[in-house]
Chain A
Amino acid sequence: MMIQVSKKPGKRRLVSLVFLSGFTVQGLAAEICSGAPGDLHDVTYSAAQTTCTSDTTIEAGPNVVVIADAWLSLFAASHVTLTGPFTIEEQARLRIAPHYSALITMNDTGIVACADEDNSGLACPVVAFPGQDAESGRDVTRGNDADGHAGFSFTKLSMAGGLLPANATNWSCVRDNVTGLTWEVKTDVAGIHFKGNTYRWGGETAQGNGFGAYYADWNSLVNGSNAEQLCGFSDWRVPTVVELQSLVSYNRLAPDPVIDTDYFPNTINTHFWSALPSAAASTNASNVDFGMGFVGALPRNLTVFVRLVRSGK
């Protein structure tokens, strides 16, 4: 990201900086402000904090004044153009920085109740316990149970990959509409997707190499799913820790598994492997526990569960 400061029409100086403070930019060429929330020209900023964000560019000025003790933040993905006169009074702050569109969209936690020192399951807010998990995020803004608990949004997929209604009784995969990931659904009949199948760690799509021994137990699941084109896809893999934890719904109480069982039936309430080794010991690998939602590590020779994922359209 670059910041362009025009001194004369058609002449731009390219600089990179974090913020400017306590001085006045004067005599710059007049340009029309556009591309930012509101019109950033002929305006005096007196609020304690104003933030403008753009996925493209921000053009600010002329005749902007940021008064003492006020902050104006301009975050743009491409560049910010300042056009004078542009005054930042002493003790005021103009902050210019890159804006990054998130590469991944995260699931919320599924927690929809607040807590105090001794109790859980309380209505929010709770005095002396402000700003808890349940007070922000998708579970609040998109708390619609029609497509999965609270902020989760799932779509059932047929074996051939067709989209199914939420009340479908026979489905093979679930697409997570928030993260964009598609997940294998376990079955209660014999076969590679059987809920009770367990594996030692390692095999196709396991990450890293040269640090400890890799088993190959789950190759039957990965290769078998690709061969049968599970839900129309042949790029199935074992998930990362963050991907696997994205499915955890932390509102569940044991012995229920910490996942939306309306979409992920046949989930055993215990450990599932991630594709990642564990740094602490070459004999361990990373896992997520669907009994409580712990992210941790286990010995690779322990046989635990695997749920496959795929990404992309």
Chain B
Amino acid sequence: MSKFINLEPRYLLAAALLATAFSSEAQTCRGDSEIPSTTPTSDFHDHGDGTVTHKTTGLMWTKCTLGQTGSDCSGGSATTYDWSGALQAAKVSRIAGYSDWRVPNVKELITLVEKRCFDPAINVAVFPGIPVSNIWTSSPTTDFPSNTPTSWGVNFAEFGYNFTYERTDLLSLRLVRSGH
């Protein structure tokens, strides 16, 4: 006997409702005519298993930042890592059964920035985890030897700019896979 259950729309609806509720508290978004959306919801496919594919780049992302759980990421709370801890957490992650998660590089992570929104600068209908924090990339900065060693992170919490963070700083983590 075969049984088929269509789970996805239900999750999406719940996520959309929650995202709307949260975004009305803090996030500011300009109208689509004022600033064209850089990450419209239609550009993403939510697999319903904690992963989201960005159809533009073909990259698969974790829907929640690490530590958040549930279809709307409202469970748990975002874990923070120093840069070494972030890289190691990606290596051992088995989210949705995949074993090839990695920390995104600085160009990959910037593709998730929603330029018409800030506080946070992300499409919260697709990535509903609130609060959105600043997030690590896998890219170390090339810096003067005399400077404090830093790596790149993206401040989704505010405007979605990339900044250099000391490698001992504690930031959140969203993982990526190539393909799909």
Contact = CB atoms under 8 A, between A and B. Distances in A.
Contact of A49 (B99, B138, B167, B178): B99
A279 B33 contact: no
B97 A17 contact: no
Contact of A100 (B84, B87, B180): B180
Contacts of A23: 1-3
Contact of B161 (A17, A114, A296): A296
Interface in B68-98: 83-84, 87-88, 90-91, 97-98
B84 A117 contact: yes
Interface string A222-251: 000000000000000000111001101011
Contact size range, A: 35 or more
B6 interface: yes
B116 interface: yes
B140 A133 contact: yes
Contacts of B163: 294
A107 B167 CA distance: 25
Contacts of B30: 208, 211, 277, 279
Interface residues of B, number: 73
Nearest to A16: B6
Contacts of B83: 117, 129
A132 B102 CA distance: 8
B18 to A, nearest CB: 19
Interface of B: 1-8, 28-31, 33-36, 38, 45, 47-49, 53, 55-59, 83-84, 87-88, 90-91, 97-99, 102-103, 105-108, 110-111, 113, 115-118, 121, 137-144, 149, 151-152, 158-164, 167-168, 178-180
A280 interface: yes
A12 to B, nearest CB: 12
A43 interface: no
A307 B167 CA distance: 33
Given A279-B117, A296-B161, A130 B139 contact: no
A98 B5 CA distance: 16
B171 to A, nearest CB: 15
Contacts of A17: 4-8
Contact of A295 (B29, B88, B108, B162): B162
B7 A106 contact: no
Q: Ordered nearest first, which 8 A-B pairs have the shortest CB separation?
A: A102-B58, A115-B140, A211-B34, A18-B48, A133-B139, A133-B138, A100-B55, A71-B97
B115 A25 contact: no
18 contacts: A13-B4, A20-B4, A73-B97, A93-B97, A100-B55, A102-B57, A108-B105, A109-B107, A120-B141, A129-B84, A131-B91, A133-B106, A211-B35, A250-B106, A292-B164, A294-B161, A294-B163, A295-B161
